[in-house]
C-alpha cells in the first residue's frame, strides 16, 4: 500500500508539473514581447509616419527590446518598425499608458511614448 500511495503522489505531481510547463509559456508570452492592442479613434503619427484610425498591435522584438513593431490589429501584417528609446517613468500604471502630443499645424496627434502595464520603463518614439 505504501508503494501505491507513493506512486499515486508521484503521478499527481508529475501531471501538475507537466500542466504548469504547458500553461506558463502561454501566460507569459505577452509579458515577453509586451504585446499590446490599442485602438485609435483618429489618425495618429508615430515616428514621422501618419497611420489611419484603427486597431494596432504594439510589441517589442524578442531579440532587441528597443525595436517596437506596430502591426495591424489582427496581427496579420507589419505596419511600422520603430527604433525606440528606453524611457523611465516615476509612476507605475496597471493599464497601458500612451503619451500623446499635439501635431503641428493641424497634423494628427503624435504618439510620444508607450508604457506596458506594471512597468516604469517604456519606449519613447523619436520624432522625425
pTM of the model: 0.73
Counting Cα atoms < 13 Å in the Cβ hemisphere of 95 gives: 4
- What is the per-residue pLDDT for 82? 96
Average pLDDT, consecutive stretches of 10 residues, N- to C-terminus, the chain (128 residues): 47 42 39 90 95 96 90 95 94 91 88 94 91
- What is the per-residue pLDDT for 30? 67
- What is the per-residue pLDDT for 73? 93
Amino acid at each position: 500500500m505504501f508503494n501505491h500511495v507513493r506512486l499515486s503522489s508521484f503521478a499527481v505531481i508529475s501531471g501538475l508539473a507537466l500542466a504548469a510547463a504547458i500553461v506558463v509559456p502561454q501566460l507569459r508570452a505577452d509579458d515577453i514581447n509586451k504585446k499590446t492592442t490599442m485602438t485609435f479613434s483618429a489618425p495618429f503619427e508615430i515616428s514621422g509616419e501618419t497611420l489611419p484610425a484603427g486597431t494596432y498591435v504594439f510589441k517589442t522584438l524578442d531579440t532587441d527590446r528597443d525595436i517596437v513593431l506596430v502591426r495591424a490589429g489582427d496581427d496579420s501584417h507589419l505596419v511600422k518598425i520603430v527604433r525606440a528609446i528606453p524611457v523611465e517613468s516615476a509612476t507605475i500604471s496597471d493599464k497601458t499608458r500612451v503619451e500623446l502630443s499635439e501635431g503641428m499645424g493641424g497634423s494628427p496627434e503624435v504618439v510620444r511614448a508607450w508604457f506596458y502595464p506594471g512597468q516604469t520603463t517604456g519606449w519613447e518614439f523619436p520624432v522625425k
